[in-house]
């Protein structure tokens, strides 16, 4: 039986996030804190911060999105990158999407951020390349519309700046998801444009998913 990597990521994220909600030390040790990375070489924070969340709403929103989109993408990355392909893609997205934040805030001792935003956003936009008009039961909208709202929310919250969530990572994660996936399989770009102009449902069958 194939391992459902998406569910494993969700379970681990929920457990670590709950631990952070109830234990300030866990939160402080794992959160994305650029000065600690720069001065103490705590590079692990690039990854661990992606498994923390600010509150239950933040956690639910990200994990619900990952559940909808992730399971449809596992086979593709595992096919190209091996059995752990999807996990590697997800972790790489979390790291890469945090690099601009690190560069901007590496000397900012008051800045901290957390959340799976980069990884989730990368998965969402990679999925859209295959199936922009795929409908979900909840919410009952096409994936590309869901993604538009997702990004809008990210931009709005980033400008608002009222929490420790790295909302800008949504945008960088999206760019990574699209760029990396197309670089790995260039045919996807033309396939996406064809799907976008002539809705035919999900297109993952073309690539053996």
- One-character DSSP codes across 71-91: TTTHHHHHHHH-TTHHHHHHH
Q: What is the pLDDT of residues 114-137, one digit of tens each?
A: 989 899 999 989 998 988 888 765
For position 31, which CATH number holds?
1.20.1540.10
- Chain-centroid distance of CA 69 in Å reads 10
- Tell me how many domains the chain contains: 1
Rg (CA), the chain: 17
Q: How far apart are CA 63 and CA 191, in angstroms?
A: 28
pTM over 0.85: yes
Residue ranges making up the domain that contains 178 = 5-207
Nearest CA to 5 out of 53, 67, 64 is that of 67
Which backbone phi and psi does 161 adopt, to 5 degrees? 60, 40
pLDDT of amino acid 136: 65
Where is 189: in which H helix or E strand? helix 187-197
């Amino acid at each position: 039986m194939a391992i459902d990597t998406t569910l494993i990521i969700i379970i681990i994220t929920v457990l670590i996030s709950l631990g952070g909600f109830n234990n300030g030390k866990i939160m402080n040790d794992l959160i994305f804190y650029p000065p600690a990375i720069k001065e103490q070489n705590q590079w692990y924070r690039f990854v661990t911060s992606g498994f923390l969340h600010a509150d239950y709403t933040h956690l639910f929103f990200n994990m619900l999105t990952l559940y909808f989109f992730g399971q449809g993408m596992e086979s593709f990355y595992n096919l190209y990158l091996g059995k752990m392909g999807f996990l590697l893609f997800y972790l790489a997205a979390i790291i890469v999407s945090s690099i601009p934040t690190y560069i901007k805030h590496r000397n900012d001792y008051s800045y901290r951020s957390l959340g799976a935003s980069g990884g989730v956003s990368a998965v969402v936009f990679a999925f859209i390349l295959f199936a922009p008009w795929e409908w979900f039961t909840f919410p009952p909208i096409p994936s590309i519309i869901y993604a538009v709202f997702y990004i809008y929310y990210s931009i709005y919250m980033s400008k608002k700046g009222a929490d420790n969530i790295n909302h800008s990572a949504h945008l960088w994660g999206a760019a990574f998801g699209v760029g990396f996936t197309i670089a790995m399989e260039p045919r996807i770009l033309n396939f996406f444009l064809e799907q976008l102009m002539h809705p035919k449902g999900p297109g993952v069958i073309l690539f053996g998913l």
